[in-house]
Amino acid sequence: MLTFSILKKCKYKASVYKLYKNLSVDVSQSRVRPAAEKLSGDTSYIEILPSWAPNEEADLRTIILHHMHILPNFVSEEEEAALLAEVEPQLKKMRYEYDHWDNAIEGYRETERGKWNNQNEAVLSRVKEMAFAPKAELLPYVHVLDLAAGGHIKPHVDAVRFCGDTIAGLCLASSAVMRLTHEKKPHVALDALLERRCLYIMSGVARYDFSHAVLGGEHSVWRGDRLPRRRRVAIICREQPKAEHRQ
Ligand code: OGA
Ligand code: MN
């Protein structure tokens, strides 16, 4: 049984926000960028929480909108059905896990998959092309996380020991609200609507300086409307951890 060890909170020392700010020119000139970096941030799926005043951390606001990308309708309904069909037999064998004191997630089952049928492989290639630089080294297994209708993910930062800079997830079966909260300033927070069949890409400050949570139950509200409680499956591609964090 896989454990959710990657979610164990792990502090990231350097201020990546500063690093990014200072290096942004170098970065853009020195490496081939993933396709998503060329897009401007689409704010229609991001809602800054009222606690984050408009004049506070104005630079960070701009940056976070580039580091938390949501691409709606990234997969078609047919592609979604095909991806779900391929993982379903594995998932069905497992029970949803609840009430584990050390879990960052309530109501989930998960698996990993290294090999996909041709149709799904093509979709995942599109994800990789969009989210990662061409030379990025990805973890060989794609993470499949099935959240029950009553499940949720508590705030966490993905441990740097287990994954690198960029995290790209397909949100399938239903929509969800993801909340990003600044690690040092909890009132600096935003909600992102992960619409069913979207691709979301987290990197930089969104990945290191903010925790992320998938809201459940009565908290799962987007612009005043409660989202229906339904099962949701995320298919997540990640980069290898950076060399200095590998064991
Ligand atoms: C994770 C995670 C988000 C999602 O697996 O670490 O945060 O979209 N998942 O399910
Ligand atoms: Mn995570």
Taking the centre of ligand 1 as the mean of its atom positions, its distance from the CA of residue 51, in whole angstroms, is 24
| Model pLDDT, residue 29 | 39
Taking the centre of ligand 2 as the mean of its atom positions, its distance from the CA of residue 156, in whole angstroms, is 6
Separation between Cα atoms, residue 133 and residue 33, nearest integer Å: 5
- The two three-digit tokens of residue 35, written as one number: 């396709």
Separation between Cα atoms, residue 89 and residue 42, nearest integer Å: 35
pLDDT along the chain (247 residues), means of 10: 42 32 36 64 86 95 93 97 98 91 89 97 97 94 97 95 96 98 98 97 97 95 95 98 86
Sign of CA dihedral 108, 233, 228, 207: positive
| Model pLDDT, residue 25 | 33
| Model pLDDT, residue 246 | 82
The 3-class secondary structure across 186-230, one letter per residue, is CCCEEEEEECCCEEEEECHHHHHCEEEEECCHHHCEECCEECCCC
Ligand 1 neighbour 188 (Cβ under 6 A): no
Ligand 1 pocket test target in 145, 161, 175, 179 with most atoms within 8 Å of CB: 145
Give domain 34-245's CATH superfamily.
Alpha-ketoglutarate-dependent dioxygenase AlkB-like (2.60.120.590)
| Position in ligand 1 atom list of the atom nearest CA 194 | 8
| Model pLDDT, residue 103 | 82
Sign of CA dihedral 141, 112, 156, 197: positive
Ligand 1 pocket test target in 8, 141, 143, 153 with most atoms within 8 Å of CB: 153
The 3-class secondary structure across 142-164, one letter per residue, is EEEEEEEEEEEEEEECCCCCCCC
Determine the residue type at 237: C
